Chain A
Amino acid sequence: KAGVTQTPRYLIKTRGQQVTLSCSPISGHRSVSWYQQTPGQGLQFLFEYFSETQRNKGNFPGRFSGRQFSNSRSEMNVSTLELGDSALYLCASSLGPGLAVYSSYEQYFGPGTRLTVT
């Protein structure tokens, strides 16, 4: 079974621009979560989508947004990029809520998109 895929793997953007990152979850997984990883702050939760709806949100400004499509693929968007947005952006997929199985807890990560803002 194919894992979580993220595109692109690397991006270089200029301050003030916007960027869109894409994530395809594991087949059969309906929930997608996004995380930001930086050396200073570590791994931080951005938001989670299930059934095309944002279910949970971390403590990030409104410049960070996302969406999910009917096939469970997800995109996240960062507008008005700042130097501090340089990070590895990770997507994780899981089965999703409403399932009384232990494995529904488990989140599987993709390789990430390395965003550099100059």
Chain B
Amino acid sequence: GENVEQHPSTLSVQEGDSAVIKCTYSDSASNYFPWYKQELGKGPQLIIDIRSNVGEKKDQRIAVTLNKTAKHFSLHITETQPEDSAVYFCAASPYSGGGADGLTFGKGTHLIIQP
């Protein structure tokens, strides 16, 4: 089955700086890669996603890049703000168009924004 590795487990950055979280996956059949943000006491919130026919996607301060050859994808957050502090999860799925196959998640990155 699919295996997703996520690094680092904890990331502390100064407010206003950029943060980068990296993930690798093992199953070449995976073609859908979402990122989730989870705040304390809440469920994961979808913040951005990318499919394997796209190399990069951007949404305001958040961007995701995908290298299908190397089987890795990354989340980039620019101009970090205190409200960006949370746990971030990457995930992968072999979505075939037949439905939402189960997501395989990384272990999460605790992002801390220092004022």
Interface residues of A (CB under 8 A from B): 4, 31, 33, 35, 42-45, 47-48, 50, 55-56, 58-59, 90, 92, 94, 96-98, 100, 102, 104-112
Interface majority SS on B: helix, strand, loop or mixed?
A: loop
Interface residues of B (CB under 8 A from A): 1, 32, 34, 36, 41-46, 49, 51, 89, 91, 93, 95, 97-108
Contact A107 B103 (CB under 8 A): yes
User: How far does the Cβ of B38 sit from chain A's closest Cβ, in whole Å?
Assistant: 9
Contact A106 B99 (CB under 8 A): no
Contacts of A98 in B (CB 8 A): 98-99
Contact A48 B105 (CB under 8 A): no
Contact A110 B43 (CB under 8 A): yes
Contact B104 A45 (CB under 8 A): yes
Contacts of B95 in A (CB 8 A): 105
* Given A105-B49, A109-B43, A97-B98 contact (CB < 8 Å): yes
* Given A42-B108, A43-B89, A102-B51, A107-B46 contact (CB < 8 Å): yes
